[in-house]
Amino acid sequence: MADKVLDAEELREAVPSPPPGGPSGLPADPPYFVGRRRELDALRADIDSPGLDVLRGQAASGGRVLLVAGRPGSGRTSLAVRLAREMGERYPDGQFYVRLGANGADDEQAARTLLRAVGAEPHGNVRDAFARRRAILVLDDVTTPRQLLDLLPGGTGNLVVATSDGPLPGVADVRPCTLGGLDGPAALDMLAQAIGPVRVTNDPRAAETLAQECGGHPAALRLVAAWLAAQPRMSVTDATRLLREAEAPDPLGRAFRLVYGALAQPVARMLRFLALAPAAVADAQIASALAGCSVSAAQSTLEDLAGCGLMHAEDGHYRVPGFLAPTLRELLETLDRPGELRLARARMLERTVRLLQACHASLTGAEPAEEIPRALRFPSRAAASAWLHGRLPLLLAAVRVAAADGELDTLARRLVAALVRALAADPDAGDDRDTTAERYQLHAVVLEVAERRGLHREKAAALINIGDLDAEGARPLDALDRYRAALVAAREGFDGDAEGRALEAIAGTYLALDDPQRAADWYGRALALRQTRGELPHQARLHSRLGSLHTYAARYGPALREWRAAAAAHRRLKDLPAQARALSEVARVQEYAGHPEDALRTCRDALYWAREAGEKRLEGAVLLRMADTLERLGDPAGARLQRAAARRLLPAGEVPDDGEV
């Protein structure tokens, strides 16, 4: 692999596919699956055996839960996936896979992923969503009993297959299956499938010795077998000798040292740096950014590493195996300088920002703020949307990586901003793609960085955004706390715009809490601030809101003042439609106050400005208001004329027939 600085023109045109590990289906089987028939048979038997509730004479309270326990690299994931695949016909409502643990989804994200996969409300719960289904859930790398309990489906028709390092106390009626090493025949079978049966047959004793040196450990066997398969001229005896000479305390460590030691220096360096990737998952783009090489060279290296068993290839992405991640991190600390690691992270995050900018440009059809290389652009809006939502868990992981490194706060803020803009720009996002929780996490990261750096303006913006999400989620009291904190931060940062936003948000929250008096008070404070700053558009909007509140409270004098002020502000802004609407509201208040003649005169002014603006629909609405006023003044003939004129301007059905008013 050539180790050179990235050349944008060398980037591949292909758009990265979504990351693996989602709940749309099971991951691919390993290149070869051997042995474990006894374990598979035992697990299948456990599915049909009566649970503790049944043995006690009670009705079953839930579906069957099986646990495959073993150390990383023991083949526990392969066994769980194989069982789920073999049992698929008995569970017609689907097979779902979620990777948890250090390099997978967090608990909330895992629940949302499962809910979206079945078309359920993302803020619901897994128990209810699966209560009437017959499905299989494979929960990989469960670390705590609570993690499993929170994802258990309701009903008795589902099967949960979990994998973990060991037992999970506190989970009732769980059926554990503990994995050890492969037996001799299975280990030889794995070697034969990897290096060919001829090499095993020619020297069966050496093959048996090699399997024994690997301790029957599946991951160690796969590493050594893949390495040996790439060297057809090496004898099994020589491979065994080299494995014995490798310095490590256990078979898996010796197998890794053997394979890692044979790698060229640039390839070994990229392998180490891949442990820095979000969730330890990378594609050619991320790998090239981490290593500082071309995308084509990164793709070739990833394929070679997967061929050696050092990476798992999954639908265009490559994942560092769980059993290798700790070792690679130790090597990073030992062999690479902190400055190099920070630079690699910065390159990776910068590449992610550029991809998000390209995604936003494709979703909106607008030119990006800065030039994006052609190779980073997306061929269509649909491709950009699929990439964004397919890669969302990894993008969130990238944000967490950036925030965790206190030296990359600027990149973290840029990354969050780019991701939020991309999510907001997706026109194809529906209920099944509700990203409220993800946006909440993103703004929380910005808040964390802002507090760490003492950035009052960024803190105020983050608090306002979080408050907006609380308000959307029907949590007005939480939103109120956020907005008040944002107001303090905005004043500390002398950010008048954020201060105005916070004041208006507080007013709107009180309005949602059915407290119009306090809402009017806070809108008044916001108006005073906007007047001090000379912000006429904001003043016009706030006058209108105060006018509406006073009208609702039957305070017609203050309402008239606010609506007239709004009309005057719109006139200064040369916004003729808004001016006409404000005058129409003045006429409404005058009519409510018992001054129909004044209302009629104001309606004529509003009609003039609506016609000047060329707003036919607005003109028709003003004509209807005039008709109502004439009706109350005892002029039914004039009212009929105005309604007839409105009927010519408005769609059919929007103008009532004479006599219906």
Mean pLDDT of 148-173: 87
Identify the pLDDT of residue 54: 52
Q: Residue 585's closest CA among 550, 611, 535, 615?
A: 550
Q: Name the residue with higher pLDDT: 159 or 375.
A: 159
CA distance 221 to 216: 7
577-616 b/e (C-beta count within 10 Å ≥ 16 → b): bbbbbbbbbbbbbbbebebbebbbebbebbbebbeebebe
Whether the pLDDT of residue 542 is over 50: the answer is yes
Q: Residue 284's closest CA among 295, 300, 268?
A: 295
Residue given tokens 């607008």 in the structure block = 366
- Give 252's DSSP letter: H
Q: Residue 13's closest CA among 373, 308, 410?
A: 373
Whether the pLDDT of residue 170 is over 90: the answer is no
Whether the pLDDT of residue 6 is over 50: the answer is no
Whether the pLDDT of residue 658 is over 80: the answer is no
Q: Which of 131-145, 365-379, 544-558 has the least mean pLDDT?
A: 365-379
- Give 153's DSSP letter: -
CA distance 474 to 314: 40
Q: What is the pLDDT of residues 8-33, one digit of tens each?
A: 333 233 333 333 334 447 887 777 78
Give the angle 55-56-62 at the CA atoms, nearest 5°. 75
- Which strands make up the sheet holding 281-282, listed edge to edge? 281-282, 317-319, 312-314
Identify the pLDDT of residue 155: 82
Mean pLDDT of 202-231: 89
Q: Residue 575: in which H helix or E strand, if any?
A: none
Q: Residue 401's closest CA among 351, 359, 435?
A: 351
End-to-end C-alpha distance for the chain, whole angstroms: 81
Identify the pLDDT of residue 52: 56
SS3 282: strand
Whether the pLDDT of residue 225 is over 70: the answer is yes
Mean pLDDT of 234-253: 89
Whether the pLDDT of residue 1 is over 60: the answer is no
Q: What is the pLDDT of residues 96-112, one digit of tens each?
A: 999 887 666 677 778 88
On the 0-12 / 13-18 / 19+ scale of CB atoms within 10 A, 315 is middle
The model's confidence at residue 516, banded by pLDDT at 50, 70 and 90, is very high
Q: What amino acid occupies position 491?
A: R
Identify the pLDDT of residue 433: 55
Q: Name the residue with higher pLDDT: 271 or 64.
A: 271
Q: What is the pLDDT of residues 332-371, one digit of tens each?
A: 999 999 999 999 999 999 999 999 999 998 998 877 666 7
Q: Which of 78-87, 298-307, 315-324, 424-433 has the least mean pLDDT?
A: 424-433
Q: Give me 588's structure tokens.
A: 């409404």
Q: What is the pLDDT of residues 594-611, one digit of tens each?
A: 999 999 999 999 999 999
Identify the pLDDT of residue 425: 86
Give the mean pLDDT of the chain: 86
CA distance 361 to 247: 52
CA distance 548 to 319: 57
The model's confidence at residue 434, banded by pLDDT at 50, 70 and 90, is low
Cβ atoms within 10 Å, residue 26: 17
Alpha helices, H only, 336-380 = 338-364
Helix/strand/coil percentages in the chain, nearest 5 = 65, 5, 30
Strands (E), 72-227: 95-99, 136-142, 159-164, 174-178
Q: Residue 449's closest CA among 486, 488, 399, 484?
A: 399
Is residue 101 a contact partner of residue 143, using CB atoms and an 8 Å limit? yes
Q: Give me 192's structure tokens.
A: 């034969």
Mean pLDDT of 483-502: 96
CA distance 434 to 528: 37
Q: Which residues pair with 99 in a beta bridge?
A: 140
Whether the pLDDT of residue 135 is over 50: the answer is yes
Q: What is the pLDDT of residues 443-478, one digit of tens each?
A: 988 898 889 889 899 999 999 999 999 999 889 999
The model's confidence at residue 205, banded by pLDDT at 50, 70 and 90, is very high
Whether the pLDDT of residue 650 is over 90: the answer is no
Identify the pLDDT of residue 61: 62
| Number of helical (H) and strand (E) elements in the chain, helices listed first | 31, 8
CA distance 546 to 523: 7
Q: Residue 65: in which H helix or E strand, if any?
A: strand 64-69
Whether the pLDDT of residue 409 is over 90: the answer is no
Q: How far is CA 462 from the centre of its chain?
A: 18
Identify the pLDDT of residue 255: 92
Mean pLDDT of 494-521: 95
Whether the pLDDT of residue 216 is over 80: the answer is yes
Whether the pLDDT of residue 4 is over 60: the answer is no
619-656 b/e (C-beta count within 10 Å ≥ 16 → b): bbbbbbbbbbbbbeeeeeebbbebbebbbebbeeeebe
- Give 656's DSSP letter: P
Whether the pLDDT of residue 431 is over 50: the answer is no
SS3 318: strand
Q: Which residues pair with 137 in a beta bridge?
A: 96, 160
Identify the pLDDT of residue 546: 96
Give the angle 255-261-265 at the CA atoms, nearest 5°. 145
Q: Residue 197: in which H helix or E strand, if any?
A: helix 197-202
Identify the pLDDT of residue 21: 38
pTM: 0.75
Percent residues over pLDDT 70 in the chain: 90
